[in-house]
Amino acid sequence: MNRRNFVTAAAGSLAAAARVLGANDRIRLGLIGTGGRCGALSTHLKSLPGNEVILTSDVYQPRREAMAEKMGPQANPVRDYREVLDSKDIDGVVIASPDHWHARMVLDAIAAGKDVYCEKPVTHTIAEGEPLIAAVEKSGRVVATGTQQRSWDHFIQAKALVEEGKLGQIALAQCYWYQNYHRAQRPADAGGIDPAKLDWKTWLGSAPDQPFAEIRYRRWRWFWDFGGGAFTDLMTHWIDVIMWYMHSPTPRTVQAFGAVHVNHDLELPDTVNASLEFPQNYTAVYTGTMIESLEDGGIVLRGTEAMMKLTRAGFEVYPEGKSRGAQLPPPEIAVKSTGDGTKTNLQNWLDCMRGRRQPNANIRAGVEAARASHLANQAMREGRRISL
What is the tens place of the pLDDT at every residue in 317-368?
A: 999 987 767 788 899 999 999 999 999 999 999 999 999 999 999 999 999 9
Q: How large a percentage of the chain has pLDDT more than 70?
A: 92
Tell me how far CA of residue 369 lies from CA of 157, 159, 228, 373, in angstroms.
20, 17, 13, 7
The whole-number pLDDT of residue 184 equals 56
> For residue 235, what is the DSSP state?
I
Q: Report whether pLDDT(188) > 60.
A: no
Per-residue pLDDT, 8:
40
β-pair type (282-289, 314-319): unpaired
pLDDT at 327: 84
For residue 1, the model assigns a pLDDT of 30
> Span 119-123, mean pLDDT?
98
DSSP 260-295: -SS-TTSSS-SEEEEEEEETTTEEEEEEEESB--TT
10 C-beta neighbours (distance < 10 Å), count: 18
* Euclidean distance between CA atoms 6 and 176, whole angstroms: 41
Quick check: 30 and 84 in contact, CB under 8 A?
A: yes
Q: How far is CA 78 from CA 44, 63, 118, in A?
A: 22, 11, 19
Rounded to an integer, what distance in angstroms lies between the CA atom of residue 79 and that of residue 64? 8
- Which superfamily does 151-343+371-387 belong to? Dihydrodipicolinate Reductase; domain 2 (3.30.360.10)
pLDDT at 183: 67
121 cis-preceded (ω within 30 degrees of 0): yes
- Rounded to an integer, the average pLDDT of 81-96 is 97
Residue 11: the pLDDT is 40
Query: CA 261 to CA 286: how far, in whole Å?
Result: 18
Domain boundaries, the chain: 3-141, 151-343+371-387
Contact 276, 246 (CB under 8 A): no
Whole-angstrom Cα distance, residue 84 to residue 30? 6
How far is Cα 312 from Cα 177, in angstroms, rounded to an integer? 12
Output the pLDDT for position 254. Answer: 98
Architecture of domain 3-141: 3-Layer(aba) Sandwich (3.40)
Chain segment 170-182, per-residue pLDDT in tens: 999 999 999 998 7
In whole angstroms, give the CA distance from residue 55 to residue 75: 5
Q: Mean pLDDT throughout 64-78? A: 97
pLDDT of amino acid 192? 84
pLDDT at 52 over 50: yes
Report whether 29 contacts 53 (CB < 8 A): yes
pLDDT score of 185:
53
- Report the alpha-carbon distance of residue 144 to residue 350 in Å, rounded: 10
Rounded (5°) CA angle 365-369-372: 140
Antiparallel, parallel or unpaired: β 170-178 and 282-289: parallel
CA 135 – CA 132 distance, rounded (Å): 5
314 three-state secondary structure: strand
What is the average pLDDT score of the chain?
Answer: 93
Residues sharing a CB contact under 8 Å with residue 335, sequence separation 6 or more, in sequence order: 154, 157, 158, 314, 315, 316
Average pLDDT over residues 227-251: 98
Whole-number Å distance between alpha carbons of 70 and 339: 23
Does 147 score more than 50 pLDDT?
Answer: yes
Sheet with 115-118: strands ordered across:
76-78, 51-57, 27-32, 92-95, 115-118, 143-145
CA gap 244, 175 in Å, rounded = 14
pLDDT of residue 130: 98
Listed residue (288, 296, 366, 355) closest to 102, CA to CA: 366
For residues 3-16, average pLDDT: 40
Condensed to tens digits (0 to 9), the pLDDT of residues 282-307 reads: 999 999 999 999 999 999 999 999 99
Binning pLDDT at 50, 70 and 90, where does residue 25 land?
confident
pLDDT at residue 321, rounded to an integer: 84
How much of the chain, in percent, has pLDDT values that exceed 90?
Answer: 88
